[in-house]
Structure 1
Amino acid sequence: MGGYYKLFQSSRNAEWYFSLKAGNHETILQSEGYKAKAGSENGIASVQVNSPNDARYERKESSNGYWFTLKAANGEPIGRSEMYTTASARDKGIESVKTNGPSRDVRED
């Protein structure tokens, strides 16, 4: 089973979000909130285009762990990963987004 996007509206703040899920249903990328559904759909389209490009990933680390941000060509962030305990695990997360990001499977919650 391949990766897919989960598109949903938060009951807490009424904003729209998407998450990219790997084939095992684990979240590998999470969006920021969008005021409109169309904004979230545009975010998904941006991940589909930008995710295969290694230069679009900003690899980060802090005392709390490792994570990455996927950015659009204009430098704006599209999504962020979870926290990882090692740089190697973070890098495997990036590879998973590269593999699953181009998916056209969008599931609305």
Structure 2
Amino acid sequence: MGKFVISKRTNGEFQFNLKANNGQVILTSEGYSSKAGCENGILSVKTNSQDDSKFDKKTSSNGKPYFNLKASNGQIIGTSEMYESTSGRDNGIASVKSNAPSASTEDLS
């Protein structure tokens, strides 16, 4: 089962990473000014990760595929790593969809 890990950035902002069973980070959040905002972001990922239309498949300037997960208002709530292939990116999306809904939360902040 995956887990969300809350941490604090050097600038004082909170962020979360969604990690798969193997410990690999599959989604990283933006920075949040409060822990409550970060926790709301996690709830948003759990909800929106079940809607295929919320995944925005992108390609970086260096040609690497990645994706953003967006909330209902269109705001990005999480970004993936850069992948070597579109199939890797698609596997990452599938991993978020399967891990997010039942993921526990670990607070390291």
Kindly provide the amino acid, as one letter, of the partner of residue 91 in structure 1: D
2:51 matched residue in structure 1: 53
Superposition TM-score, scaled by structure 1 size: 0.95
Higher mean displacement: 22-31 or 95-104: 95-104
Superposition TM-score, scaled by structure 2 size: 0.95
Q: What CA deviation, in whole Å up to 9, does each residue of 1:38-80 have, x standing for no partner? A: 0100000000101011110000013420000000111111000
Q: Structure 1: which 5+ runs fail to align?
A: none
For 2:35 and 2:55, locate their aligned partners in 1 and report how far apart those are by CA, in whole Å. 25
For 1:74 and 1:91, locate their aligned partners in 2 and report how far apart those are by CA, in whole Å. 23
1:103 matched residue in structure 2: 102
2:37 aligns to what SS in structure 1? helix
For 2:17 and 2:103, locate their aligned partners in 1 and report how far apart those are by CA, in whole Å. 13
1:29 matched residue in structure 2: 27
Q: Classify 1:95/1:20 alpha carbon distance in 2 versus 1 (closer, same or farther; 3 Å).
A: same
Aligned residues: 107
Kindly provide the amino acid, as one letter, of the partner of residue 9 in structure 1: K
Displacement after TM superposition at 1:88 (Å): 0.6
For 1:8 and 1:108, locate their aligned partners in 2 and report how far apart those are by CA, in whole Å. 7
Q: Structure 2: which 5+ runs fail to align?
A: none
Equivalent residues in 2 for 1:57-96, closer than 5 Å = 57-64=55-62, 65-96=64-95
Q: What CA deviation, in whole Å up to 9, does each residue of 1:8-45 have, x standing for no partner? A: 112x1010000000011100000010010001000000
